[in-house]
Amino acid sequence: MNTYNNDPEAVSLPTPEQYRVTQQDGTERPFQNEYWDDKEPGLYVDVVSGGPRFTSVDKFDRLGWSSFTRPLEPTNVVENVDRSHGMTHTEVRSKHGDSHLGYLFPDRPRDKGGLRYCMNSASLRFIHRDQLEIEGHREYLKLFAQGA
């Protein structure tokens, strides 16, 4: 298995929005981000480290942000208690890239564990299923096989 660490070049060359979200713990506006309504099959990787974080297989009801029922590999994300803005919620960060990804909420869908990983598009890069092998993520192709 690959180890994906914070890539200094990726951190130095993001768009202003990617930097604000991943390095300054920002949040995008709902319905005004790249992947909130994306329905294509593929893998979502951390824009800073390139590490795989979520798949379209676990994506659900477009609530204004990309929402997933679970991370691809739970050991590659860190969940921190965040008490900012006068409330307590769970922040989700990339373990190896230490980038802010979004927040975890215990409000959806019950039949799949009841969790909603609400992620910022600016913290992710989408790799279409057809590009996984070229991008070095061949091991995840099986997730998108017919009937899987």
What are the backbone angles phi and psi of residue 117, rounded to the nearest 5°?
Answer: -85, 100
In angstroms, the CA 26 to CA 38 distance is 21
Of 34, 90, 94, which Cα lies nearest the Cα of 66?
34
The CATH fold of domain 8-125: 2.170.150
- Output the pLDDT for position 148: 47
- Output the pLDDT for position 8: 54
pTM beyond 0.85: the answer is yes
Catalytic residues: 118
- Output the pLDDT for position 103: 95
Mean pLDDT, residues 99-114: 88
Sign of CA dihedral 91, 5, 29, 74: negative
Q: pLDDT for 15-58, tens place per residue?
A: 999 999 999 999 999 999 999 999 999 999 999 988 999 999 99
Cβ contact 135:126 at 8 Å: no
pLDDT above 80: residue 12: no
Domain boundaries, the chain: 8-125
